[in-house]
Amino acid sequence: MSDKHPKSAHSKSNKRAHHLCLVPGGRKAKVLALLPPGSFAKLENQPNDLPPFQVIHCKGGRCWVRQQAWGTNIHWEVEHHRLHTA
């Protein structure tokens, strides 16, 4: 006995494979800006009188940032989605 599917069933499943939905439920995914080390970013609700943060490193949805006035050894860990390019 053969394990092959009839041609009509195979062609139906093949057509479905070309229509993949990467975001379930029709929700729109938020596209995050690339924040390379050395770039500057602002928090989502950052006051205008506070200068942008310098990005030290981003990994796994988290970014380490600092203010230039803080010195090189002081940094802050922030969720990536809370930052946007300055």
What confidence tens digit (pLDDT) does each residue in 29-50 have? 556 678 999 999 999 889 999 9
* Percent residues over pLDDT 70 in the chain: 63
Q: Which residue has the higher pLDDT, 9 or 68?
A: 68
- Let me know if residue 39 belongs to a domain: yes
- Let me know if residue 35 belongs to a domain: yes
Residue 7 has a pLDDT of 54
Mean pLDDT over each residue of the chain, to the nearest integer: 77
Domain of residue 55 covers 27-85
> CA–CA distance from 71 to each of 32, 67, 68 (Å)?
27, 8, 6
User: How many domains, the chain?
Assistant: 1
- Let me know if residue 18 belongs to a domain: no
Closest CA to 64 of 48, 86, 45, 41: 41
